[in-house]
């Protein structure tokens, strides 16, 4: 089977054509500047091939048309016709309380995604544009929606309820939803496959530009660090993470900002970027800065590792123990120094890294010492594969 995986943002659209069984990637790429002018970057990994094209993309429809064109291109394409694509899988950020699993896209599914717009105002409209553009251009192709929130629907009320007046929960569904669910689910499955056990207490640290931790018991999410939106939890590239809400009120009152402006500050100008004094949101730059003696970069790195460490401690308490700790995503897979600072002093919990094994980037491997009670793994995540597998499975029915 060949599944086209689409991740549509407001002005960008990522795509990947892959085999859901083997994970083989035929081609992948990115459309950028949709609604502005339009640029397509297309890669064929097996041929080490990369092309860039300027293509007008006033809307997501032209972007999808450009993707289908390049996939069929005589020189850089990988299919002879669109008929070779069996189905399309879409990443959808917010599934609200309606989606505990992926679903075939029909009118009811689209309406439910639309109903979740108040909960995911930044992402769901763009996801819908991607879906509708595909429907327009490939009307008979099965399409599936895979939600970032779905994996966390197994959380118990004590984890997902906020201690706010009941009406906001009952009427408006304000609660913890959690994100990166497709990544956390992939890791839960990999841990099961790698250890041969389902009955484990696992903490997955998805640490990238956006970061979240997930407590997993018997393969199911029981708690996670992001909430109603992907803003809370550990500090991120530019997102603040957990913060006293009074900070928002103070900034609004004292700087004459609207709530939207304050949220933009907390989403786009905070996190390690802010702590570093505006040096960077990228850990490679922060580490270079810290190595050159920049104290703000050092603090940003220290604060990040400290907050991740605190979440690991609290999730070990929530799980009543810990068998496996996993690092994944850009920082988790590549940044040995950050993994080491997070795990430093965690021997009391049974976490002991092997410094040699930890010298590793982007490979699936155990990095804990032989006598570590908790197995620590680096597992590169693969959200696209999960989306492709769900899509193949649902499209077959």
89 or 208: CB nearest ligand AMP: 208
H helical segments located in the chain: 60-71, 107-115, 124-137, 157-160, 166-170, 181-195, 246-255, 259-268, 271-275, 283-291, 295-319, 329-334, 336-343, 383-396
Q: How far apart are CA 7 and CA 91, in angstroms?
A: 5
Query: Looking at beta carbons, which residue is closest to ligand AMP?
Result: 330
Strands 39-44 and 25-32: antiparallel
Instruction: Tell the smallest beta-carbon distance from residue 335 to ligand AMP (Å).
Output: 4
Closest alpha carbon to 151 in 191, 95, 203, 194: 95
Q: Which residues bind ligand AMP (CB under 6 A)?
A: 208-209, 237, 282-284, 329-331, 334-335
CB atoms within 10 A of CB 24: 12
| Min CB(258)–ligand AMP separation in Å | 29
- Looking at the Cβ atoms of 115 and 285, the one nearer to ligand AMP is 285
Name which of 60 and 180 has its Cβ closer to ligand AMP: 180
Select 142 or 237, whichever has its Cβ closest to ligand AMP.
Answer: 237
**Please, which residue, 32 or 335, has the CB nearer to ligand AMP?**
335
Looking at the Cβ atoms of 10 and 209, the one nearer to ligand AMP is: 209
Closest CA to 262 of 273, 249, 281: 249
Q: What gap in Å lies between CA 168 and CA 275, rounded to an integer?
A: 33
> Cα(11)–Cα(195) distance, rounded to whole angstroms?
41
* Beta-strand relationship, 143-147 and 375-378: unpaired
The 10 Å CB-count burial string (b at 16+, else e) for 90-123 is bbbbbbbebbeebbebeeebbebbeebbebbeeb
Q: Using CA atoms, how far apart are residues 67 and 77, in angstroms rounded to an integer?
A: 10
Q: Active-site residues: which are they?
A: 148
Minimum distance between the CB of residue 14 and ligand AMP, rounded to whole angstroms?
11
């Amino acid at each position: 089977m060949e599944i086209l995986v689409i991740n549509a943002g407001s002005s960008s659209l990522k795509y990947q054509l892959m085999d859901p069984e083997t994970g083989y990637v035929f081609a992948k790429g990115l459309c950028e500047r949709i609604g502005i002018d339009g640029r397509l970057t297309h890669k064929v990994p097996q041929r080490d091939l990369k092309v860039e094209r300027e293509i007008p993309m006033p809307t997501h429809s032209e972007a999808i048309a450009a993707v289908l064109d390049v996939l069929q291109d005589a020189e850089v394409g990988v299919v002879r016709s669109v008929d070779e694509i069996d189905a399309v899988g879409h990443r959808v950020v917010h599934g609200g309380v309606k989606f505990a699993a992926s679903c075939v896209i029909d009118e009811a599914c689209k309406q439910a995604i639309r109903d979740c717009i108040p909960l995911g105002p930044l992402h769901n409209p763009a996801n819908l544009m991607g879906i509708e553009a595909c429907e327009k251009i490939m009307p008979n192709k099965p399409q599936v929606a895979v939600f970032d929130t779905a994996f966390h629907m197994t959380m118990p009320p004590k984890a997902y309820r906020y201690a706010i007046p009941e009406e906001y929960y009952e009427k408006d569904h304000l609660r913890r939803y959690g994100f990166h669910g497709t990544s956390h689910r992939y890791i839960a499955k990999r841990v099961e496959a790698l250890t041969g056990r389902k009955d484990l207490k696992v903490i997955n640290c998805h640490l990238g530009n956006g970061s979240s931790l997930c407590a997993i018991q018997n393969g199911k999410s029981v708690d996670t660090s992001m909430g109603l939106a992907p803003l809370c939890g550990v500090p991120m590239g530019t997102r603040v993470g957990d913060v006293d809400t009074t900070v928002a009120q103070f900034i609004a009152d004292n700087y004459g900002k609207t709530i939207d402006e304050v949220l933009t500050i907390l989403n786009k100008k905070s996190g390690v970027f802010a702590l570093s004094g505006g040096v960077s949101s990228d850990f490679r730059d922060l580490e270079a800065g810290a190595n050159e003696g920049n104290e703000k970069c050092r603090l940003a790195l220290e604060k990040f590792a400290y907050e991740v460490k605190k979440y690991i401690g609290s999730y070990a308490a929530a799980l009543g123990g810990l068998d496996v700790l996993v690092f994944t995503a850009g920082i988790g897979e590549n940044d040995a120094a950050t993994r080491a600072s997070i795990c430093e002093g965690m021997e009391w919990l049974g976490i002991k890294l092997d410094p040699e094994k930890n010298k590793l980037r982007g490979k699936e491997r155990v990095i804990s010492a032989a006598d570590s009670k908790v197995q620590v793994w680096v597992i590169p995540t693969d959200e696209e594969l999960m989306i492709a597998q769900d899509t193949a499975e649902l499209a077959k029915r």
